[in-house]
Amino acid sequence: MTWPDFLLIGTPKGGTTALHSALVGHPQLHLSAIKEPKFFLCDGTRPTRSKHAGPGDAHSAREWVWREPEYRRLFADAPRDALAGESTPFYLYDREAQQRIASTIPGARLIAVIRDPVDRAYSNWTHLWSDGLEPIADFNQALAQEDARVAAGYAPFWHYARVGRYGEQLSSLFELFPREQVLVLRYRELAEEPDRSIATVCDFLGVERHPAAKSKPDNVHPYVTPSARQRALSSVIRAGAGLGAYAPPQIWRSVETPLRAALHSGGGRRPQLTVDQRREALTRFVDDIGLLEEVLGRSFDDWRSDAGRGEFSQRWRG
């Protein structure tokens, strides 16, 4: 059994699903059948509930691949001449995961897709809101609860602002890995120029160039408008998620899926953030955007704009 040769390490709601899907079809690459094993988020022991205290966290953590033999089996069927890889978008954010990767597979190539941090956070909040797990109907009010949630042990997917501080994350990563082993792509590049972006990834991995998929399995949830029905269904989902932490994941999924489908029915495109909403959220990232520019030597001034840029489904050029 082998270790992976490369990892897609970030960022959540940043296009890793699209990139993973494009690379799966490459004949010289072998991607794990489990898209997000989350192995390097673990310390060799089963994830504990104390670090997964948010709605839905505990039953989700039960699906993590935390045992080394099980993780390495994900790559056992890789052809001899293929590169093996997996996609866990929280590795960039988690400093301990970075250290575990550096200790275990120091020669691995790492790929990070980074997205406008306000757009990313808003997409993240929408995902949890529309799944009935996020109880706060206002994005900025939910952001204001982040410190308390982190202190209470909510899992990283609830860390809306912290996950988008890429300057800090990449500064840490470059202390562990040489820059030539790390490829940083922008979400907008992947969305608007997928063929060029996939070619860049192939060159970075040292494999033949392969065209991007012409369609993308979008990971955007329909926006669910606040209503009495929404509140009732969401309350049931959150209560069930708590009980589901004590049941096998497949049992909870069988209960959760129809509830979530009912919640999503009639959902539509999420509303754009207003200028004031975006400006308020942006205050959490301005300093880190400056640090990111220093770390990468590239401008990200467009992230300081009052305008968002939408989702893959609105921008994919494939």
- Return the structure tokens found at 58: 């505990």
In Å, how far from its chain's centre is CA 98?
Answer: 15
First vs last C-alpha separation in the chain: 36
107 CB burial (10 A radius; 0-12, 13-18, 19+): exposed
Count CB neighbours of 201 within 10 A: 26
Beta bridge partners of 187: none
pLDDT value at residue 74: 97
Q: Which CATH number fits domain 6-222+273-315: 3.50.50.60, 3.40.50.300, 2.40.50.140, 1.10.760.10?
A: 3.40.50.300
In Å, how far from its chain's centre is CA 139?
Answer: 18
Count CB neighbours of 71 within 10 A: 22
pLDDT value at residue 12: 97
Any idea where the domains of the chain sit in the sequence?
6-222+273-315
Q: 32-73, pLDDT tens digit by residue?
A: 999 999 999 999 988 876 567 888 887 778 789 999 999 999
Give residues with Cβ within 8 angstroms of 271, minimum separation 6.
223
pLDDT value at residue 266: 67
Give the span between the Cα atoms of 227 and 255, in whole angstroms.
Answer: 22
Whether 217 shows a pLDDT value over 90: the answer reads: no
Give the span between the Cα atoms of 302 and 311, in whole angstroms.
Answer: 16
Q: Answer for the pair 110, 209: CB distance below 8 angstroms, yes or no.
A: no
Give the span between the Cα atoms of 54 and 57, in whole angstroms.
Answer: 5
Q: Compare 214 and 228 and report the one with higher pLDDT.
A: 228
Determine the average pLDDT of the residues in 288-295. 99
Closest among 274, 190, 261, 275 to 222, alpha carbons compared: 261
Q: 138-166, pLDDT tens digit by residue?
A: 999 999 999 999 999 999 999 999 999 99
Calculate ∠ Cα 152-154-157, nearest 5°.
155
pTM for the complete prediction? 0.89
Q: 168-205, pLDDT tens digit by residue?
A: 999 999 999 999 999 999 999 999 999 999 999 999 99
